[in-house]
Amino acid sequence: MDEQLSNIARNLQKISKDWPEKRRRCGQVLDALLQLTIDYPEKAEEGFTNIEIHEFISSNLHNWGISTETDEVRRKVTNAWKDLEALWVKKENGIAQRFVNLGSTAIPKIYKVLGGGGGISNRYSLRLEPIKEVIEQAKKKESLDSNELEYFEDDVDELKGAAKIFASGFLLGGIRKWLFLGVMMLVTLNMLVLLFVFSLGISQQETSGQVVRFIGAFVFILWVEWSLFGAFIQVVGNRVQVAPWWTQPWSSEGDWLLVFEKNKPASPNVIKLKRYTAKCSTCGGVVRVHKGGFTYLGRLVGRCDNSPREHVFSFDHYLRIGASIGS
């Protein structure tokens, strides 16, 4: 078990190395836990104390200060651990998918054992849990060719405002279903009214300048409305669509997706915000999903950060696989 936990920790280091949260205290605690698990496998199952984690971080990762106050050390590690638990909830889907890809029969979980007072410290460790069947796709190919890749679900930056509604899934059941249908019907009706107004108004313009201004105003209004709600209309039929701009955080690459999960027969359908990335089979770079543009009109494709025009891949969000379609 000790050696298995060490191997799990090494794989987690590779998976998490580019997480932006590594700059925060919660990421530093995770780094400390993983490296301590590797360095001291005989203690990995029992776990590591607040003081051991604090000392490792202060000596190797970041200046947390050399505190001799036990309460101060406990407070820092405990608060960072709470943030790490919240981060883990966002990351665990992608972590599980990656461990399935590695052929693992178990996935890691971060674990805390309360000390219970009396000078007994909390202990923090990695635990292994059996992989849930729901993680594995029944239709997934057994192996991938050299020009193929596998996409993994990745968490997104913390959602704010209206976009937060779709973070855990917007269930299309009960009043929410009728609210969603009502809004989509109003948007569609409004566009039809705009087209009717345009057909009447264009003939009332007397000069070419007025015609140009009228067409410009009409196109602008239609574009604004479509950019706000068009993705929600498209996602029902396409099952996946690039999310509208107002759900994309400023720090993102514009690669958030709306995913329509058609649950049947009894469960309500749901719309979720997700992000998928993959490792480029050509150069090893990060592949992100974007609209296909004129070259791949009407499709979503994966483009490598290192060579977005040449290293291009198809994107199947259901099977989470893609094949090279670049030149």
Note if the pTM is more than 0.85.
no
Closest to 7 in 3D by CA, of 117, 133, 170, 128: 128
Looking at residues 109-127, what average pLDDT do you find? 80
User: Of the candidates 73, 102, 136, which is a domain's last residue?
Assistant: 136
Confidence at residue 93, expressed as pLDDT on a 0 to 100 scale: 83
Residue 172 has pLDDT above 70, yes or no: yes
3-state secondary structure of 278: strand
Confidence at residue 136, expressed as pLDDT on a 0 to 100 scale: 47
Which domain, by its residues, includes 197?
161-323
Model confidence at 79, pLDDT cuts 50, 70, 90, reads very high
Confidence at residue 291, expressed as pLDDT on a 0 to 100 scale: 93
Does 221 reside within a domain?
yes
Rounded to whole angstroms, the maximal C-alpha distance in the chain is 88
Does 53 reside within a domain?
yes
Residue 140 has pLDDT above 70, yes or no: no
User: Of the candidates 72, 102, 136, which is a domain's last residue?
Assistant: 136
Confidence at residue 156, expressed as pLDDT on a 0 to 100 scale: 55
Q: Which residue has the higher pLDDT, 280 or 140?
A: 280
> Of 30-39, 198-207, 208-217, 301-310, which range is least confident?
198-207
Q: Are residues 234 and 169 in the same domain?
A: yes
Q: Which residue has the higher pLDDT, 199 or 140?
A: 199
Q: Are residues 104 and 245 in the same domain?
A: no
Model confidence at 141, pLDDT cuts 50, 70, 90, reads low
Each residue of 221-241: pLDDT tens digit? Answer: 888 888 888 899 889 889 999
Q: Are residues 173 and 115 in the same domain?
A: no
Does 149 reside within a domain?
no
Q: What angle do CA 221, 227, 229 make, to 5 degrees?
A: 100
Residue 134 has pLDDT above 50, yes or no: no
Residue 60 has pLDDT above 50, yes or no: yes
Confidence at residue 97, expressed as pLDDT on a 0 to 100 scale: 86
Residue 210 has pLDDT above 60, yes or no: yes
Q: Are residues 241 and 296 in the same domain?
A: yes
Q: Are residues 122 and 41 in the same domain?
A: yes
Average pLDDT, the chain: 83
Q: Which residue has the higher pLDDT, 169 or 106?
A: 106
3-state secondary structure of 215: helix
Does 154 reside within a domain?
no
Confidence at residue 155, expressed as pLDDT on a 0 to 100 scale: 65
Q: Which residue has the higher pLDDT, 29 or 196?
A: 29
Beta carbons of 302 and 278 less than 8 angstroms apart = yes
Confidence at residue 87, expressed as pLDDT on a 0 to 100 scale: 87
Confidence at residue 138, expressed as pLDDT on a 0 to 100 scale: 40
Q: Are residues 309 and 197 in the same domain?
A: yes
Model confidence at 139, pLDDT cuts 50, 70, 90, reads very low
Percentage above 70 pLDDT, the chain: 86
Does 77 reside within a domain?
yes
Q: Are residues 196 and 120 in the same domain?
A: no
Beta carbons of 249 and 167 less than 8 angstroms apart = no
Residue 304 has pLDDT above 50, yes or no: yes
Does 105 reside within a domain?
yes
User: Of the candidates 101, 136, 171, which is a domain's last residue?
Assistant: 136
Q: Which residue has the higher pLDDT, 206 or 15?
A: 15
Beta carbons of 49 and 121 less than 8 angstroms apart = yes
Q: Are residues 169 and 273 in the same domain?
A: yes
Q: Are residues 171 and 129 in the same domain?
A: no
Q: Are residues 187 and 319 in the same domain?
A: yes
Does 169 reside within a domain?
yes
Provide the token pair at 92: 């665990």
Q: Are residues 317 and 219 in the same domain?
A: yes
Q: How far is CA 327 from the centre of its chain?
A: 28
Confidence at residue 271, expressed as pLDDT on a 0 to 100 scale: 87
State how many domains the chain has: 2
Does 141 reside within a domain?
no
Q: Which residue has the higher pLDDT, 161 or 33?
A: 33
Q: Are residues 316 and 178 in the same domain?
A: yes
